Structure 1
Amino acid sequence: MDEILHQLGELVLGSVPTIVLFVLLTAAYSVLVRRPLDRVLAERRARTLGAVEQARGAMATAEAETSAYEEKLRNAKREIFESRERRRKQWSDEREAALAEVRTQAQQRIQTARQDIERSTADARSRIESATGELSTLVLNAVLPVEPVATEVAQ
């Protein structure tokens, strides 16, 4: 067992430089590699989070601008529609006014034509009435001869 302990002591004694070297390497790694790496990673994380926040902000701004543009587009479409409706109403009013004027003119022409017809009818009636006396005389003369009646009365 002494031999085993002796070999074990030699192994431990032989491993001391390795342990010291391991501790030195770990310390050097910590100082030279890990701390700068942690710093770079923290900076990268901060930049990444900053970029993500910037991207979110840009997206929010873009959404706000998109909403504003959509609102402007809706307003423009509404104005165009209202303008069309106003023009359509104006044209309709103008058409109705023109139709009313044409109707008035047609009514005046009809009234004038009726008056002309009534004058012609009255004229024709007066001619017929004046001709009635002459026609009745002619009919009476044709049916009843005037001269033989006068001779009979004289006899």
Structure 2
Amino acid sequence: MNEILATLSELVLGSVPTIVLFTLVVIAYSVLVRRPLEKTLSERRARTSGAMEQAKSAVASAESKTSEYEERLRIARAEIFEARQKRVQQFNAEREAILAEAREQAQTRVTAARQQVEQSLTEAKKQIEVASEQLSAQVLKAILPAEVLAGGAQ
């Protein structure tokens, strides 16, 4: 057992420089590598999360502007539609007024034409009556002898 303890003590004494060197390497690693690396990683996380927050706010701003533009577009379309409807109604009203005036003028012409036709009809009847009297007198002269006509007149 003494041998084992002696061997162990020799091993422990031989490993002391290794332990010291290992401890120095761990301390040097911590000071030279781990702390700057952690600092860089924390800065990177801060920048990344800051950029993510900025991106989220930019997206939210873009969405609000998009909805605002869509609302403006909807209002503009509604105004255009209303203006178009007013123009159509105005055009229809003007067309109806022109048609009513044309109908009135046509009715006036028809009335005047009817009166003219009736007047022409009356004149034609008078002319027919006069012509029929003259024609009947001529027929009587041609058919009946002149003495019967002269005697009938007495």
TM over 0.5: yes
User: What is the match of residue 69 of structure 1?
Assistant: 69
Change (3 A) 1:26 1:150: closer
The amino acid across from 1:140 in the alignment is L
CA drift at 1:100: 2.0
Which residue in 1 is equivalent to 2:116?
116
- Tell me the CA shift for residue 13 of structure 1: 0.5
CA distance in structure 1 between the partners assigned to 2:61 and 2:146 by the alignment: 122
Q: Which residue of 1 aligns with 2:104?
A: 104
Q: Secondary structure at the match of 1:43?
A: helix
Letter in 1 for 2:128: I
Q: Compute the displacement of 1:61 (Å).
A: 0.6
What residue in structure 1 maps to residue 87 of structure 2? 87
Alignment of 1:78 onto 2:72: no
Between 109-118 and 135-144, report the one with greater CA deviation: 135-144
Distance 2:84 2:144 in 1: 86
- Hey, what's the Cα distance between the residues in 2 that align with 1:78 and 1:19? 84
Structure 1 regions of 5+ residues with no counterpart? none
Query: Counterpart in 1 of 2:38?
Result: 38
Pick 1 or 2: higher relative contact order, CA cutoff 8 A, min separation 6: 2
Q: Aligned runs of 1:13-28 on 2, under 5 Å? A: 13-28=13-28
TM-score normalised by L of structure 2: 0.81
Letter in 2 for 1:36: P
Deviates more, 1:21-30 or 1:6-15: 21-30
What is the rounded CA distance, in whole Å, between the counterparts of 1:90 and 1:19 in structure 2? 102
CA 149–40 in structure 1, closer or farther in 2 if over 3 Å, else same: closer
**In structure 2, how many angstroms separate the alpha carbons of the residues matched to 1:66 and 1:40?**
38
How far 1:124 sits from its partner (Å)?
0.9
Distance 1:21 1:140, change over 3 A: same
Query: Once structures 1 and 2 are overlaid, which stretch shifts more, 132-141 or 120-129?
Result: 132-141
Separation in 2, partners of 1:140, 1:65: 109
Instruction: Tell me which residue corresponds to 1:135.
Output: 135
Q: Quote how far apart the aligned CAs of 1:144 are.
A: 2.7
Q: Deviations over 1:21-64 (max 9, x none)?
A: 22233234334432333233222212211211110110011011
